[in-house]
C-alpha cells in the first residue's frame, strides 16, 4: 500500500516513511492511494476476534513494510486488558433500545486518544530501533493530547517528549496526570502564557529547519496517519458488538455512529471504515458551540474561526477554530482532486478564511454518498444530558460524550443501532459534573491522590530561544 498527499504533489510512500513525518512536503495530508475493501466473508471471519487480532487484520491491509509477525506482536502488546481495563478493550454500554455508548476512554489517560497513541508509541519504538535513530517529540497541549502522548512514550527507547502547556491553565487533574510522570524521557514545560503561545513556540521551532534536522524534532498530532488508522479498528469492534448475534449474515444490518468532534480525526476514521465497506448507515458529527464543522455539513461553507471567535467551553477538547483533519474528507468528496484541494486549503483559506462548496454537486454527496449529518450542542444541553443520563441510566458521562449523546438522539432510526463514541471519562472534567449532579464524579482507583504526588515540570517564559536551549541541553 502506498500513500499519496491530499494536495497531489508528494512522492508516493510506504507506511513507515510517513509514520515519522507530519505533513507531506507539499503541505497536504497523507492518505492511502485506495481503501482496501472488506466483503461479508471477511467480516464473518473477523467477528469474534480478540481486539488486538482485529487490529492486526485491519492494520496489515495498510502496512506492507513491517513483517506480519512483528506487526501482530505490536498489536498484542498494545491492546491488553491490563492497559485498557477490559477484555473487550472497547465494550458497548447499552443506554436504551437502539442507543449505546462505546467506551473508548479506559486507557491510561482516560480519553479516546489513548486508543491510537498507545499503538503509536510502540510503532515509534519499533521503527526507531530498526533505523538506529532517535526522535524528539515537541508538542503543545491544553490537556488530552499531551497526556496521551506522554503515557504512550514514557520509557520508550529512542524517544523524548517535550510537551509545552499553558502554565496554570489546565485542570488540576490534567496537570497532575502529566506532571507526576517521573520518566527521564518525558519533559513537561509550563509556558508563562496561553495555549496559542505554546503552539507558536512549536511552530517557530519546527520552522527552523536546521534545528529541526539537527535535533530530529517530530510531532504526534492528530494528522498522523498511523493515529487515524488505529482508530478505524474500534468502528469495526463497535459494529460487531452492536450486531451480535447476526444469524442473517454480515451486511444484513447497519449501524450508525455519533462522534463528538473537534479536529475531525476521530470521525475521519469512521469515514475510512465506511469506505472500506463496513456497514455504517450514518456518521453523525457532533460539535459544541465551536461549530465550524456543523456549519459545513449544514451549508457547504467551511469558515475558519478567528481566535476571538473560538469559544472556551465545558467540552474543551472540541474547542477548535479549524479542523486539521478535514482536508482528508474533502479530498475524497471532490473525487481526490489534489490540485483543487490545494487551491481550497492553500490559497483560498489563506486569502479569504473560507471556501464555499454549497453550489458544487459534490456537497450533496457528503450526506447521500458518505452518510454525514451533523448537529451542535451547548453548555446547557451538556448539563441537561449529563443529569438525564445519570437519573435514567445511573451512568455518569463526560461533557464531550454528552455533546454526542444529545445530537445522537435526534438521528436514531428504527432498526439501526446508534453507537455514541464515549471520548473521555467524567473525572477529567469534574467541575461540569459537579454543576450537573451536585457531586464529584467517580475516580478510578489508580488516580487516587495524584494531585499530591511530586511534580516534574519546568516553568519557562514564552521564549523560543530558551526552549531550543533546553532541548539542546537534554540531547547533549
Ligand atoms: C480530542 C478529543 C475530541 C475531539 O476529537 P477529534 O479527533 O479532534 O475530532 C473529543 N473529545 C475528547 C475528550 C477529546 O480528547
Q: Span 62-70, mean pLDDT? A: 98
406/95 Cα distance (integer angstroms): 13
- Would you place residue 90 in the very low, low, confident or very high pLDDT band (cuts 50, 70, 90)? very high
> What would the 3-class secondary structure string for the chain be?
CCEEECCCCCCCECHHHHHCCCCCCCCCCEEECCCCCCCHHHHHHHCCCCHHHHHHHHHHCCCCCCCHHHHHHHHHHHCCHHHHCCCCCCCEEEEECCEEEEECCCCCCCECHHHHHHHHHHHHHHHHHHHCCCEEEEEECCCHHHHHHHHHHCCCCCEEEEEEEECCCCCHHHHHHHHCCCCCCEEEEEEECCHHHHHHHHHHHHHCHHHHHHCCEECCCCCCHHHHHHHHHHHHHHHHHHCCCCCCCCCCCCEEEEEECCCCHHHHHHHHHHHCCCCEEEEEEEECCCCHHHHHHHHCEEECCCHHHCCCCCCHHHCCCCCCCHHHHHHHHCCCCHHHHHHHHHHHHHHHCEEECCCCHHHHHHHHCCCEEEEECCHHHHHHHHHHHHHHHCCCCCHHHHHHHHHHHCCCECCECEEEEECECHHHHHHHHHHHHCCCCCCCHHHCCHHHCCCCCEEEECCHHHHHHHHHHHHC
Residue 390 lies in a domain: yes
User: How far, in Å, is the centroid of ligand 1 from the Cα of 465?
Assistant: 31
Residue 386 lies in a domain: yes
Residue 147 lies in a domain: no
Residue 299 lies in a domain: yes
What pLDDT score was predicted for residue 195? 83
350: domain CATH number is: 3.40.50.1100
Instruction: Out of 229, 317, 422, give the residue to mutate to test ligand 1, the one with the largest number of ligand atoms within 8 Å of its CB.
Output: 317
User: How far, in Å, is the centroid of ligand 1 from the Cα of 259?
Assistant: 9
Give nearest CA residue, ligand 1 atom 1: 317
Give nearest CA residue, ligand 1 atom 8: 263
- Would you place residue 306 in the very low, low, confident or very high pLDDT band (cuts 50, 70, 90)? confident
Each residue's pLDDT tens digit, 314-336: 999 999 888 989 999 999 999 99
- Would you place residue 427 in the very low, low, confident or very high pLDDT band (cuts 50, 70, 90)? very high
Q: For residues 149 and 185, is the Cβ–Cβ distance under 8 A?
A: no
Q: For residues 423 and 104, is the Cβ–Cβ distance under 8 A?
A: yes
Q: Which atom of ligand 1 is nearest to the CA of 144?
A: 15
Q: Span 141-145, mean pLDDT? A: 83
Residue 281 belongs to what domain range?
Answer: 92-107+225-442
Kindly list the protein residues whose Cβ atom lies closer than 6 A to any atom of ligand 1.
111, 113, 144, 222, 260-266, 317-318, 400, 423-424
- Would you place residue 171 in the very low, low, confident or very high pLDDT band (cuts 50, 70, 90)? confident
Residue 48 lies in a domain: no
Q: Which atom of ligand 1 is nearest to the CA of 143?
A: 15
Q: Which atom of ligand 1 is nearest to the CA of 113?
A: 15
Residue 172's alpha-carbon distances to 161, 287, 429, 437, in angstroms, are 21, 25, 10, 20
417/421 Cα distance (integer angstroms): 13
Residue 65 lies in a domain: no
- Copy the grid coordinates of residue 355: 471556501
Give nearest CA residue, ligand 1 atom 7: 265
Instruction: Out of 141, 144, 292, 376, give the residue to mutate to test ligand 1, the one with the largest number of ligand atoms within 8 Å of its CB.
Output: 144
The residue annotated as part of the active site, out of 45, 77, 82, 113, is 113
Q: Which of these ranges, 86-100, 192-206, 316-330, 454-468, has the smallest mean pLDDT?
A: 192-206
Q: Which atom of ligand 1 is nearest to the CA of 265?
A: 7
Total-model pTM: 0.96
Q: For residues 288 and 319, is the Cβ–Cβ distance under 8 A?
A: yes
User: How far, in Å, is the centroid of ligand 1 from the Cα of 426?
Assistant: 14
- Would you place residue 57 in the very low, low, confident or very high pLDDT band (cuts 50, 70, 90)? very high
What pLDDT score was predicted for residue 397? 98
Give nearest CA residue, ligand 1 atom 14: 317
Instruction: Out of 117, 177, 262, 268, give the residue to mutate to test ligand 1, the one with the largest number of ligand atoms within 8 Å of its CB.
Output: 262
Q: Which atom of ligand 1 is nearest to the CA of 263?
A: 8
Instruction: Out of 400, 403, 406, 420, give the residue to mutate to test ligand 1, the one with the largest number of ligand atoms within 8 Å of its CB.
Output: 400
Q: For residues 44 and 250, is the Cβ–Cβ distance under 8 A?
A: yes
What pLDDT score was predicted for residue 199? 86
92/107 Cα distance (integer angstroms): 15
Q: Which atom of ligand 1 is nearest to the CA of 401?
A: 11
Structurally, the chain folds into a number of domains equal to 1
User: What residues does 283 pair with on adjacent strands?
Assistant: 257, 372
Each residue's pLDDT tens digit, 249-273: 999 999 999 999 999 999 999 999 9
Each residue's pLDDT tens digit, 279-300: 999 999 999 999 999 999 999 9
What pLDDT score was predicted for residue 21? 84
User: How far, in Å, is the centroid of ligand 1 from the Cα of 47?
Assistant: 27
User: How far, in Å, is the centroid of ligand 1 from the Cα of 261?
Assistant: 6
Residue 141 lies in a domain: no
Percent of the residues in the chain that have a pLDDT greater than 70, as a whole number:
100
Q: Which of these ranges, 244-248, 253-257, 413-417, has the smallest mean pLDDT?
A: 244-248
**pLDDT above 80 for 143:** no
**Does the annotation count 45 as an active-site position?**
no
For all residues of the chain together, what is the average pLDDT? 95
Q: Span 401-405, mean pLDDT? A: 98
What pLDDT score was predicted for residue 297? 98
Residue 403 lies in a domain: yes
Amino acid at each position: 500500500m502506498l500513500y499519496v498527499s491530499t494536495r497531489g504533489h508528494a512522492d508516493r510512500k510506504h507506511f513507515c516513511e510517513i509514520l515519522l513525518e507530519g505533513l507531506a512536503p507539499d503541505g497536504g495530508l497523507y492518505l492511502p492511494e485506495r481503501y482496501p475493501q472488506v466483503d461479508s466473508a471477511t467480516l464473518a471471519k473477523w467477528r469474534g476476534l480478540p481486539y488486538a487480532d482485529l487490529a492486526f487484520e485491519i492494520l496489515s491491509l495498510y502496512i506492507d513494510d513491517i513483517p506480519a509477525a512483528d506487526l501482530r506482536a505490536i498489536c498484542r502488546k498494545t491492546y491488553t486488558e491490563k492497559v485498557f481495563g477490559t477484555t473487550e478493550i472497547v465494550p458497548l454500554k447499552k443506554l436504551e433500545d437502539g442507543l449505546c455508548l462505546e467506551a473508548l476512554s479506559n486507557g491510561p489517560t482516560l480519553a479516546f486518544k489513548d486508543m491510537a497513541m498507545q499503538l503509536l508509541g510502540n510503532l515509534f519504538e519499533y521503527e526507531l530501533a530498526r533505523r538506529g535513530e532517535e526522535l524528539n517529540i515537541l508538542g503543545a497541549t491544553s490537556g488530552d493530547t499531551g497526556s496521551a502522548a506522554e503515557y504512550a512514550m514514557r520509557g520508550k527507547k529512542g524517544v523524548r517528549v517535550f510537551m509545552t502547556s499553558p502554565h496554570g491553565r489546565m485542570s488540576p487533574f490534567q496537570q497532575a496526570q502529566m506532571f507526576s510522570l517521573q520518566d527521564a524521557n518525558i519533559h513537561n514545560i509550563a509556558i508563562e502564557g496561553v495555549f496559542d503561545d505554546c503552539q507558536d513556540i512549536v511552530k517557530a521551532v519546527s520552522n527552523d529547519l536546521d534545528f529541526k534536522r539537527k535535533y530530529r524534532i517530530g510531532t504526534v498530532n492528530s494528522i498522523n496517519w498511523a493515529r487515524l488508522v488505529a482508530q478505524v479498528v474500534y468502528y469495526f469492534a463497535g459494529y460487531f458488538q452492536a450486531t451480535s448475534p447476526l444469524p442473517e449474515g454480515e451486511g444484513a444490518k447497519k449501524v450508525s455512529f455519533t462522534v463528538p468532534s473537534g479536529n475531525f480525526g476521530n470521525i475521519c476514521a469512521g469515514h475510512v471504515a465506511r469506505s472500506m465497506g463496513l456497514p455504517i448507515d450514518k456518521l453523525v458529527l457532533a460539535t459544541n458551540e465551536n461549530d465550524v464543522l456543523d456549519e459545513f455539513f449544514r451549508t457547504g461553507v467551511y469558515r475558519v474561526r478567528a481566535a476571538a471567535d473560538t469559544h472556551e467551553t465545558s467540552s474543551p477538547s472540541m474547542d477548535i477554530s479549524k479542523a486539521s483533519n478535514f482536508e482528508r474528507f474533502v479530498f475524497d468528496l471532490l473525487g481526490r482532486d489534489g490540485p483543487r484541494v490545494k487551491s481550497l486549503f492553500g490559497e483560498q483559506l489563506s486569502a479569504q478564511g473560507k471556501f464555499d462548496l454549497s453550489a458544487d454537486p459534490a456537497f450533496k454527496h457528503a450526506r447521500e454518498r458518505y452518510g454525514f449529518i451533523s448537529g451542535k450542542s451547548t453548555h446547557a444541553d451538556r448539563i441537561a444530558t449529563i443529569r438525564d443520563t445519570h437519573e435514567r441510566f445511573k451512568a455518569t458521562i463526560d461533557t464531550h460524550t454528552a455533546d454526542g449523546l444529545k445530537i445522537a438522539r435526534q438521528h436514531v432510526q428504527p432498526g439501526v443501532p446508534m453507537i455514541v463514541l464515549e471520548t473521555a471519562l467524567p473525572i477529567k472534567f469534574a467541575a461540569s459534573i459537579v454543576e450537573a449532579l451536585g457531586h464529584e464524579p467517580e475516580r478510578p482507583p489508580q488516580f487516587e491522590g495524584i494531585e499530591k504526588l511530586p511534580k516534574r515540570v519546568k516553568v519557562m517564559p514564552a521564549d523560543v530561544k530558551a526552549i531550543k536551549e533546553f532541548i539542546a541541553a537534554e540531547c547533549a
